[in-house]
């Protein structure tokens, strides 16, 4: 019966122009969180920096049902959406602050398209702004007694390097196991994202290896922005192949 229902659902999705497949057996590079699960099957602590209205929390929960998620969203109006969308998730804490290089405050844009708001206010000179509180990853972890972050996801519209700067102690001491950062290869001032080459250099310095890319935006000039996954793989080998499905084994995963 279950198989028949799945077939009916897939058939209906195809008629609407969608493709539906199981999370199990996806090739490497198809799903960032499935890939992350292959490296750390049962993460305990996830930081969702730039949580917006909770879209990432919903994605994370499909793959990591028991992880503690800290979701950081600084824009007050967007934060209210985040709270409403995650209120039933008892292992998700919504926090109304930005993450940055130093604690304090800064101005951010507060336009109607909340997923494009940024601390780089010069990129959107006509957008309304709001003053927000800022904390560092290191400071937050010290206050909460958090000794390890299994996955640090950063989507801060060009503020990614500042977030990583504020996580210097956790990164340098090997306490952040994976980083998923939004980035771009070429600058786009009107729609800023983190500079991939700066992020890559910082990850190399911290001992994290580039694992995979996930395309976000593509236009006639090619790949414009997306996400890059970095992992602290220690001395273990991880097979990353489009022809190899994810299977947790004694020789895979992170230390």
| Dist CA 13 CA 6 (whole Å) | 11
Handedness of CA 151, 29, 60, 249 (dihedral sign): negative
Q: What is the mean pLDDT of residues 193-199?
A: 91
54 and 72 in contact (C-beta within 8 Å)?
A: no
User: In sequence order, which residues have a C-beta less than 8 Å from that of residue 181 and are 6 or more positions away?
Assistant: 153, 154, 155, 160, 164, 194, 199, 227, 228, 230
| Dist CA 182 CA 193 (whole Å) | 7
Nearest by Cα to 91 from 49, 133, 48, 122: 48
- pLDDT tens track for 137-187: 999 999 999 999 999 999 988 889 999 999 999 999 999 999 999 998 877
CATH class, 43-229 region: alpha beta
The total of other beta-carbon atoms located within 10 Å of residue 143's CB is 9
In sequence order, the β-bridge partners of residue 109 are: 129
Which DSSP string do the residues of 140-205 spell out, in sequence order? Answer: HHHHHT---BSEEEE--TT-HHHHHHTTHHHHHTT-B-EEEEEEESS--TTS--EEHHHHHHHHHH
Q: Is the pTM of this model over 0.85?
A: no
- pLDDT tens track for 28-65: 788 899 999 988 888 999 999 999 999 999 999 999 99
């Amino acid at each position: 019966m279950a198989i028949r229902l799945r077939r009916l659902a897939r058939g209906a999705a195809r008629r609407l122009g969608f493709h539906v497949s199981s999370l199990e057996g996806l090739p490497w590079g198809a799903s960032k969180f499935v890939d992350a699960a292959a490296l750390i099957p049962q993460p305990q602590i996830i930081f969702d920096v730039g949580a917006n209205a909770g879209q990432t929390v919903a994605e994370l929960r499909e793959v990591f049902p028991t992880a503690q998620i800290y979701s950081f969203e600084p824009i007050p109006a967007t934060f209210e959406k985040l709270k409403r969308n995650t209120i039933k998730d008892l292992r998700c804490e919504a926090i109304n602050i930005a993450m940055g290089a130093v604690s304090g405050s800064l101005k951010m844009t507060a336009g109607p398209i909340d997923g494009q708001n940024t601390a780089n206010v010069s990129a959107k000179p006509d957008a309304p702004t709001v003053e927000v509180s800022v904390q560092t990853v290191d400071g937050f972890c010290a206050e909460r007694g958090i000794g390890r972050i299994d996955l640090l996801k950063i989507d801060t519209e060009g503020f990614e390097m500042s977030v990583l700067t504020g996580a210097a102690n956790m990164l340098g001491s090997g306490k952040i196991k994976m980083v998923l950062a939004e980035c771009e290869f070429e600058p786009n001032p009107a729609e800023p994202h983190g500079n991939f080459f700066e992020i890559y250099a910082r990850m190399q310095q911290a001992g994290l290896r580039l694992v995979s890319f996930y395309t976000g935006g593509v236009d006639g000039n090619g790949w414009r922005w997306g996400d890059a996954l970095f992992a602290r793989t220690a001395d273990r080998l991880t097979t990353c192949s489009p022809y190899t499905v994810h299977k947790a084994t004694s020789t895979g995963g992170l230390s």
